[in-house]
Chain A
């Protein structure tokens, strides 16, 4: 056992300390590019190139970083892709990191032109596989800002073969000015907190990464890194905005323009300042934002696209990915959509799973496994290993091999890992992406009277749904649980009856409401999951803002609620809340009162029944291990039994041999060739043979260590002889042999339960034999014990002699045909010894047999009819006491004494 443990520990240490392969080494390069509307602006892009670990020519991946980040924020993902056999180029976008230039929000005139020149650069690298001269095999991936450049570049550069944009936008104008009634960004409600964070991040080093590439940290914006110093130091063109703490202090005072706009292009800066001041989008602003959005290049993206969007994302909600998916799928290009758990609002961004999904995507469309089977297989293998090693909370094991097969994947709450108590995510997959209106719809009636809601002056206090950058603080640990706060008097609530069965919602529910009043109302609709408990849950903390012109007759509007994936349990209620304020949005400062009512009682809930969560059935080992264990257990027991049976066979053969001797059944004890070794190999009993006839009182004599007790233990079936056999009344003795029921024994001291009385001990012992109470002859035995009133005291209060007598009484229970007593007179006083002698003689006179071991020679001489002398495990002499005494004559002429004979026999005569 200890050896096994040592081997286990040593193996574990070796495995743990074995040097792992060195990560791919990146080469820092500065790539000069020319961009601008006129193609006259010179910018130096700071990039890092990771050659493929597999060597040779490999497909390339352009890996873009998130807003506020730099090429450093995607280094880990780049190394991983390089290990999987891609030539990876990461770069800091213009205006970020050590790249020069100004932020133009992924404008076709600036960032897109830069990326085209990066593709040119890749085409010249010897490590990059080419589709044609100057046309490398290349994909782009990235998160948020980096995801948008993937989409934009794909539209403007036909050399790009596949993209995997994550948590990004379709229409930046719509993302910043959403309107749930579908009337576009000009009518939209300004998402002021997110917009502020978005633009201030580009302004200065607020955060090391709004969304660092594919490796969205769950901290998101909430975690301000080492680079977040107050004062916005380092806005100069050569500094590393949002760098890794290596920022030089501002050498010279910044100009007013620098303070105002940071590294933004002035045109964008001006636009932002205008809309942020008024809270309304101007057509010019919408035009500018859309130039940077895939909405402006509809129909131009015709390559395989994997869209990964976050469910906990109030900045770029699922609707943005939905619009991208529809636009790209319309061209006939393959599109797959994955809704991961986390997003810009926190949650679990599942970097391992998303990373695997992206590399599977590129394996499929860039490596086209058929023409690079070796590399592809190796890459997939290492991806699996990486996923398994990272293990833990992020992903359940069931989806390790499933990624890549499904057109639509939704990360769902898989409960908690019972061991770690951490949330587990399961990935439900479907064969097709149904869109936000779902592939099936159900209608649930909600009800409630018309309710007055007030818009507070100044828009404060405001209801809280999600706080950009602090999403993780409001929600529980992971999961889609969001706790939201409504201000009384500002919110109208409409509730459904308890759901008769659990309802899975995947997509955007819709509802029709009516807004009574005057003027333009800004409202926020949200759908709670109310379990009747104190806290209703706002799924993903998402709200749908809408702007509507209220009329006295009531303006009917159809509200598209935020897209979610959530199961509403049976018995829960759906609660529609329409509120006048939300902390994250710009709301009118003027006080007003509106009346909200339902235009139609039906709440339409989309679903996608085709979505199939992977079988969360028990892991294979939950049934295999117990089965295997039971088989092993049975084998252990049967193997043990077989060996015992062999031993029994030997005994049976012996029986058939000796069966020929007539009357053998009546011989109380026959010992033949008995041998037993100690564990050190020394023989305790060696070739012992003797027999005891009925009516004999046999004395077993020998000095300490002669093997008397060992013999008696073998007689009782407590230890197994190594050789030879013992027969009691003709039956071989094995552990638990039924013939032992005719043996009464007292060997090596009494054995009682100390907490029970003497009487209870004897009674329970007899009951343990399972024999009829009447056969016990308890009173006779108790008489021999002679304990009197002490019988009803606990044995632990007994003296040594009392226990001794009780033990002999126990041995005599049932009046056994063979009584074996080891040193029976130890601890008895002389009258008791005399009594005991009389009892034993009388016992044998009734045709029973008594074996006594003793080293008190006088005792044996007076009690026994026969004697067996043992020394060092061997038989020295056996026979009637008289014969033994008669065989030798004493040297001093007096009558022979047993003591002299004994000492003579064992060779230690004086």
Chain B
């Protein structure tokens, strides 16, 4: 018995900082059907959209109706922006809620959580590692869709400059590409609220479905409230209010103020929700 293990009473070779390595948690999550199905869907969706756009008649009156959906077939970048705009409000929310809401609750429902804690993986570390991996998967989900849409759109519609909805102005593709990175980064940050709420619920319940559903439900309620104009400026503080602010980054004259507000709000909510999750889990009696 080494002196270190003598003082803590730990078994030889045990160190709290080495428990539940990220690699192990990634493998544990990756081989799940649910993970693979979600990524399959996200990767397939752009191609489904490409096929869908082959059907309808090409609208001839592009002078008048310059909506994002009308411009989707203008080129890869336009298509990717369209794909992101149609999926950010719900599909990506579900994906993020799934990865973050399921992570602890599913372990609880399989009873494997208690064996991890008795291994022992310290509770804060368990939560931290799980959060990092869940956020990693969420980030991959949010990133993989627009990137695949960019690939699919470029192959299907060519590599053209982006046309802006509304005014129909054209911005060079080379200028937009870095902005597209900003858009994806913002989409990531704005999903942080969903992620952290799902995580808090995941820690609080043994039902993965409850955690995922609860987080998605909150997004739905927030979107409904957002439509109530009578709420005035209170709506600015709804977690979903700024979710479409990334459109401003693609404008001819990019305006980041909305995105800054969105990031601020997102960070605010997530910091508190994640802190609550840690606090709750630390003191929780694990009875599952």
Residues of A within 8 A of B (CB): 16, 388-389, 391-392, 397, 415-421, 476, 481, 531-535, 537, 569, 616, 618-619, 621-623, 625-626, 628-630, 632-634, 636-637, 639-641, 643-644, 665, 713, 716-720, 728-731, 735-743, 745, 747-756, 760, 764-765, 767-772, 775, 810, 814, 816-817
* CB pairs A–B below 8 angstroms (29 shown): A418-B261, A419-B226, A419-B241, A481-B167, A616-B257, A622-B264, A625-B265, A629-B272, A630-B271, A640-B283, A716-B114, A716-B118, A718-B118, A728-B9, A735-B122, A736-B121, A737-B8, A737-B9, A738-B14, A739-B8, A741-B11, A741-B119, A745-B118, A751-B111, A767-B21, A768-B20, A768-B24, A770-B15, A770-B21
CB contacts under 8 Å to A, within B1-25, are 5, 8-21, 24-25
What B residues does A775 contact at CB under 8 A?
A: 11-13
B236 beta carbon closer than 8 Å to chain A: yes
Bits for B234-267, please: 1 = Cβ < 8 Å to A, else 0: 0110000110110110011101011111111101
Bits for B46-82, please: 1 = Cβ < 8 Å to A, else 0: 0000000000000000010000000000000000000
Q: Tell whether A736 pairs with B16 under 8 Å between CB atoms, given A419-B236, A741-B119.
A: yes
In the docked arrangement, what's the CA distance between A720 and B123, Å?
13
What B residues does A767 contact at CB under 8 A?
A: 21, 24
Q: Which residue of B lies closest to A389 (CB)?
A: B232
What A residues does B27 contact at CB under 8 A?
A: 764
CB distance from B161 to the nearest CB of A (A): 10
A740 interface neighbour in B63, B119, B269, B274, Cβ under 8 Å: B119
In the docked arrangement, what's the CA distance between A633 and B232, Å?
28
In the docked arrangement, what's the CA distance between A416 and B257, Å?
10
Q: A622 touching B261 by the CB < 8 A rule? A: yes
B286 beta carbon closer than 8 Å to chain A: yes
In the docked arrangement, what's the CA distance between A626 and B244, Å?
20
Q: B123 touching A736 by the CB < 8 A rule? A: yes
CB distance from A387 to the nearest CB of B (A): 11
Q: A768 touching B167 by the CB < 8 A rule? A: no
What B residues does A760 contact at CB under 8 A?
A: 31
Q: A749 touching B241 by the CB < 8 A rule? A: no
Q: A718 touching B285 by the CB < 8 A rule? A: yes
Q: Which residue of A lies closest to B170 (CB)?
A: A533
Q: Which residue of B lies closest to A709 (CB)?
A: B287
In the docked arrangement, what's the CA distance between A389 and B233, Å?
9
Q: Which residue of A lies closest to B233 (CB)?
A: A391
Q: A756 touching B16 by the CB < 8 A rule? A: no
What B residues does A737 contact at CB under 8 A?
A: 8-9, 120
In the docked arrangement, what's the CA distance between A738 and B287, Å?
21
In the docked arrangement, what's the CA distance between A626 and B236, Å?
15
Residue with the greatest number of chain A CB neighbours at <10 A, chosen from B11, B15, B230, B258: B11
What A residues does B263 contact at CB under 8 A?
A: 622
A719 interface neighbour in B12, B229, B259, B286, Cβ under 8 Å: B286
In the docked arrangement, what's the CA distance between A622 and B259, Å?
10
B11 interface neighbour in A621, A730, A771, A810, Cβ under 8 Å: A771
In the docked arrangement, what's the CA distance between A751 and B118, Å?
12
Q: Tell whether A764 pairs with B24 under 8 Å between CB atoms, given A719-B285, A751-B113, A770-B15.
A: yes
Residue with the greatest number of chain B CB neighbours at <10 A, chosen from A421, A730, A741: A741
The total of chain B residues at the interface (CB under 8 A) is 86
What B residues does A753 contact at CB under 8 A?
A: 28, 110, 112
What A residues does B14 contact at CB under 8 A?
A: 738, 741, 769-771
Q: Which residue of B lies closest to A413 (CB)?
A: B253
Q: B279 touching A717 by the CB < 8 A rule? A: no
CB distance from A743 to the nearest CB of B (A): 7
Q: A619 touching B286 by the CB < 8 A rule? A: no
What B residues does A643 contact at CB under 8 A?
A: 283
CB distance from B167 to the nearest CB of A (A): 7
Q: B114 touching A738 by the CB < 8 A rule? A: no
Q: B20 touching A770 by the CB < 8 A rule? A: yes
In the docked arrangement, what's the CA distance between A884 and B32, Å?
50
Closest CB pairs A-B (n = 5)? A418-B258, A770-B18, A751-B111, A633-B275, A739-B9
What A residues does B232 contact at CB under 8 A?
A: 389, 391-392
Q: Which residue of B lies closest to A775 (CB)?
A: B13
In the docked arrangement, what's the CA distance between A770 and B19, Å?
4
In the docked arrangement, what's the CA distance between A738 and B10, Å?
5
Please give 6 more A-B residue pairs, beta carbons under 8 A apart, in addition to A533-B163, A629-B268, A753-B112. A618-B264, A718-B285, A736-B124, A740-B118, A742-B10, A756-B28
In the docked arrangement, what's the CA distance between A370 and B236, Å?
38
CB distance from A17 to the nearest CB of B (A): 12
Q: B285 touching A618 by the CB < 8 A rule? A: no
B158 beta carbon closer than 8 Å to chain A: no
Q: A418 touching B118 by the CB < 8 A rule? A: no
B117 beta carbon closer than 8 Å to chain A: yes
In the docked arrangement, what's the CA distance between A743 and B125, Å?
19
Q: Which residue of B lies closest to A740 (CB)?
A: B120
B168 beta carbon closer than 8 Å to chain A: yes
What B residues does A665 contact at CB under 8 A?
A: 9
What B residues does A628 contact at CB under 8 A?
A: 268
Q: A755 touching B21 by the CB < 8 A rule? A: no
In the docked arrangement, what's the CA distance between A745 and B264, Å?
45
What A residues does B120 contact at CB under 8 A?
A: 717, 735-738, 740-741
CB distance from A433 to the nearest CB of B (A): 27
Q: Which residue of B lies closest to A628 (CB)?
A: B268
Bits for B194-207, please: 1 = Cβ < 8 Å to A, else 0: 00000000000000
In the docked arrangement, what's the CA distance between A483 and B87, Å?
32
In the docked arrangement, what's the CA distance between A665 and B20, Å?
28
Q: Tell whether A618 pairs with B261 under 8 Å between CB atoms, given A633-B272, A717-B120, A719-B287.
A: yes
Q: A418 touching B10 by the CB < 8 A rule? A: no
Q: B9 touching A738 by the CB < 8 A rule? A: yes
Q: Which residue of A lies closest to B238 (CB)?
A: A419
Q: A634 touching B275 by the CB < 8 A rule? A: yes
Q: A756 touching B111 by the CB < 8 A rule? A: no
Q: Tell whether A632 pairs with B272 under 8 Å between CB atoms, given A728-B9, A753-B110.
A: yes
What A residues does B168 contact at CB under 8 A?
A: 533-535
What A residues does B235 contact at CB under 8 A?
A: 419
Residue with the greatest number of chain B CB neighbours at <10 A, chosen from A481, A641, A735, A743: A735
Q: Which residue of B lies closest to A477 (CB)?
A: B166
What B residues does A629 contact at CB under 8 A?
A: 267-269, 271-272
What A residues does B242 contact at CB under 8 A?
A: 418-419
Q: Tell whether A749 pairs with B111 under 8 Å between CB atoms, given A391-B232, A626-B267, A629-B272.
A: yes
In the docked arrangement, what's the CA distance between A771 and B229, Å?
57
Q: A418 touching B8 by the CB < 8 A rule? A: no
What A residues does B38 contact at CB under 8 A?
A: none
Q: Tell whether A765 pairs with B244 under 8 Å between CB atoms, given A392-B229, A534-B168.
A: no
CB distance from A662 to the nearest CB of B (A): 16
Q: A768 touching B119 by the CB < 8 A rule? A: yes
What A residues does B114 contact at CB under 8 A?
A: 713, 716, 718, 747-748, 751
B173 beta carbon closer than 8 Å to chain A: no
What B residues does A392 contact at CB under 8 A?
A: 229, 232
Q: B271 touching A618 by the CB < 8 A rule? A: no
CB contacts under 8 Å to A, within B182-215, are none
Q: A739 touching B253 by the CB < 8 A rule? A: no
Q: B123 touching A735 by the CB < 8 A rule? A: yes
CB distance from A843 to the nearest CB of B (A): 16
Residue with the greatest number of chain A CB neighbours at <10 A, chosen from B10, B119, B258, B274: B119
A626 interface neighbour in B230, B247, B264, B287, Cβ under 8 Å: B264
Q: A415 touching B115 by the CB < 8 A rule? A: no
What A residues does B276 contact at CB under 8 A?
A: 636
Q: A741 touching B10 by the CB < 8 A rule? A: yes
CB distance from B38 to the nearest CB of A (A): 14
What B residues does A754 contact at CB under 8 A?
A: 110
In the docked arrangement, what's the CA distance between A618 and B256, Å?
9
In the docked arrangement, what's the CA distance between A764 and B121, Å?
13
Q: B118 touching A417 by the CB < 8 A rule? A: no
What A residues does B226 contact at CB under 8 A?
A: 419
What A residues does B121 contact at CB under 8 A?
A: 736, 768-769
B115 interface neighbour in A618, A731, A745, A816, Cβ under 8 Å: A745
